[in-house]
A and B are shown apart, each in its own frame.
Chain A
């Protein structure tokens, strides 16, 4: 089994790092890491402890990278590593694996190790980069190994392994594999991981720490070091944002003084991750299409091949009636209209009944409920519902491997892409009909404008991310984060039409400009795809 695990891990790892998405993600991480240690002369800091920042030593660098990686991978890592089981299925590799002596635990554990290894390697690259940055900044030119690496082992690794195991679990459960799984994980993340930052259960040898992000440990240790040298310093602690410090507000943090119990309480999560990965063997069907329902997006191999019926006699005439090419219309429909109709029909197909019921409920509720309550609760739900229908916008041809069929049809940029976009906008607007009517009759033109611009913005986002990534996960992640941010932001960030003063705060202008940029990005992405 050890050998099997190793081969699964290595094969999967090589496959991942050779994809363009790996290089893009790594570039984003390194770009982000650059801001972990801003120029000392600039007076800004991204981690702030009681109005101070730490001296750029190995402990500070290690803690910054570990905390940042734990937070980033808690949400981004999941979307980054999931899909490996589906890939084995769609490429047919799974069918081959299923015929080998590989056991189900070996497969799920191997995939978990591969996910973990992939995220670990990325974190190590960032750590190395940050260390070089530390030497370049030159506040401390000495590299101390344990203070540098211990936060990575105690904070980042448990988070990485936990997220990796959840990704495997979501991958093998058919109904969690696609957009619904993304939405469920996002809510789990909001309630669980982010909630854990507030928790203060340190755990011990025999119980896991709830401080999975390491925030409580870092806060405690750093504030203790600060107050030892500057007793009057306030107790605030923040990371992530860019804040300006008073000159000279720098203190030396020697690093975590880990006790064995603290280390054990964090490493508990690795065992929990192994447990989750082993649990994943229960729903894992070993790529047997007859034991899974048709949840699959992939159509490379049909789930159940119907028996071939008795052949009919060949038709007596093999000539086809010639099509008339004259003019630009068929039956009064413009060429664009025909393509648009095809796109709208496509979006309808495969839509589950529950979605229609939920959409109907949202429209009816938006017309019937008091507007204030409807805006607060029903409007975000209506927008969230869109994710299930828009996630495939822009990537459908890649997902179903019909790109060669559709891109060889006329005008893949000038007609097909706009038709896809307009179809998505129509769907979005239909879903928002109830609110639009309320805003109209309430003469709330500002909210109506915000909603209309939002209905142009979200499909543009889905289209651009779908075209550039060829998948649904980027849109799922970005859209959920945007929804979350919009619900927690002021009027300027509101693209939902939730806040009455959003239009006055300039939200339509902001999202209108974003829409234009995203549409240009989508067209450019499709252009590159066709030229490649």
Chain B
């Protein structure tokens, strides 16, 4: 099972590129696609989900170009878009049965599947309710359930935890980790903690390009010895933000405790801190932007 993205570019207009010469090779496991807003993550997701086609390059699913043969992938594809609607008059169960029908699935097996999925996304109590009355989080969960209907070998989830409360977010992360096994899961998000909890591999994306494809451990190692905690007076915060890359601030009685990502200690009293994935992510993006400015 292999997904290869080769030199993929997506151009929306003369000057607007969603992706530029993007390369990625994926095997079973959870890959976290991390990047700022507008980095090109959703463009890539839509190409991988066969919704849209690349302007240049190709995507190979087990050696088959999905632009030419999208139906080689679709039967084993589960996709949760970032933004989607539902049919308001259908109940949760009916919607899943409809989506199963659209995917070409039917019979007792799919009924059993729906019976398993609804409790899994914590919607068993609402299975007979029309979707028109669902909250945003409940709607998101029905989206997750439909993506899992066909036992997908490739599961693509685009910002899946948006709209979920903290408890549901944790539940979804665990579900994703449990389901990964012998399938490729692509988790696109800008929420680093989601990736931290589930991903076996990370792909950093910025301005339509792949910055790095690496393991979470390797990404963390890239900022080893570069993360510092330092308490500064409140009034110095603005100046500090301009000078250093700050990954978090916490207000304390004695001032503001900042977390700085820098090669050297930012000042006297700064103490080394254990790097977190968020530090590594911000460092990589900031380094790329700085390189872009110099170029």
A residues apposed to B, CB below 8 Å:
294, 296, 298-300, 302-306, 308-309, 311-312, 314-315, 318-325, 330-333, 335, 337-339, 341-343, 345-346, 349-350, 396, 400-411, 415-416, 530-532
Chain B 117-129, CB within 8 Å of chain A: the 1/0 string? 1011010111001
Task: Check B167 against A405 for contact (C-beta < 8 Å).
Answer: no
Partner of B106, one of A324, A341, A400, A409: A341
Task: Check B101 against A343 for contact (C-beta < 8 Å).
Answer: yes
Task: Check B175 against A318 for contact (C-beta < 8 Å).
Answer: yes
Chain B 73-110, CB within 8 Å of chain A: the 1/0 string? 01111010101111111100010011111111111111
Task: Check B85 against A400 for contact (C-beta < 8 Å).
Answer: yes
Report how far A308 CA is from B168 CA in the complex, Å: 12
Q: Is the interface of A mostly helix, strand, loop or mixed?
A: loop
Report how far A200 CA is from B226 CA in the complex, Å: 88
Of B44-52, B192-200, B202-210, the one touching chain A:
B44-52
**How many B residues, CB 8 Å from partner?**
70
| Chain A residue contacts of B50, Cβ below 8 A | 407-408, 530
Partner of A345, one of B71, B98, B112, B113: B98
Task: Check B179 against A318 for contact (C-beta < 8 Å).
Answer: yes
Contact A402 to B84, CB < 8 A, known contacts A318-B174, A320-B116: yes
Question: Is B150 at the interface (CB under 8 A from chain A)?
Answer: yes
Q: Is the interface of B mostly helix, strand, loop or mixed?
A: helix
A-contacting residues, B136-191, CB 8 Å: 136-139, 143, 146, 148, 150-151, 165, 167-168, 171, 174-175, 178-179
Instruction: Contacts A312-B124, A331-B108, A404-B46 known; list 9 others, CB within 8 Å.
Output: A299-B131, A305-B134, A311-B122, A319-B178, A350-B89, A402-B84, A404-B79, A405-B84, A415-B104
Question: Is B222 at the interface (CB under 8 A from chain A)?
Answer: no
Contact A318 to B178, CB < 8 A, known contacts A401-B84, A402-B87: yes
A406 to B: closest C-beta gap in Å: 5
Task: Check A410 against B109 for contact (C-beta < 8 Å).
Answer: no
| Chain B residue contacts of A318, Cβ below 8 A | 120, 174-175, 178-179
B58 to A: closest C-beta gap in Å: 15
| Chain A residue contacts of B81, Cβ below 8 A | 404-405
Report how far A140 CA is from B79 CA in the complex, Å: 64
| Chain B residue contacts of A400, Cβ below 8 A | 85-88
Report how far A406 CA is from B102 CA in the complex, Å: 7
| Contacts A/B (CB < 8 Å), 9 sampled | A298-B85, A308-B135, A312-B125, A314-B171, A318-B120, A320-B113, A330-B106, A345-B101, A401-B85
Closest residue on chain B to residue A320 by CB atoms: B116
| Chain B residue contacts of A341, Cβ below 8 A | 101, 106
| Chain A residue contacts of B71, Cβ below 8 A | 410-411
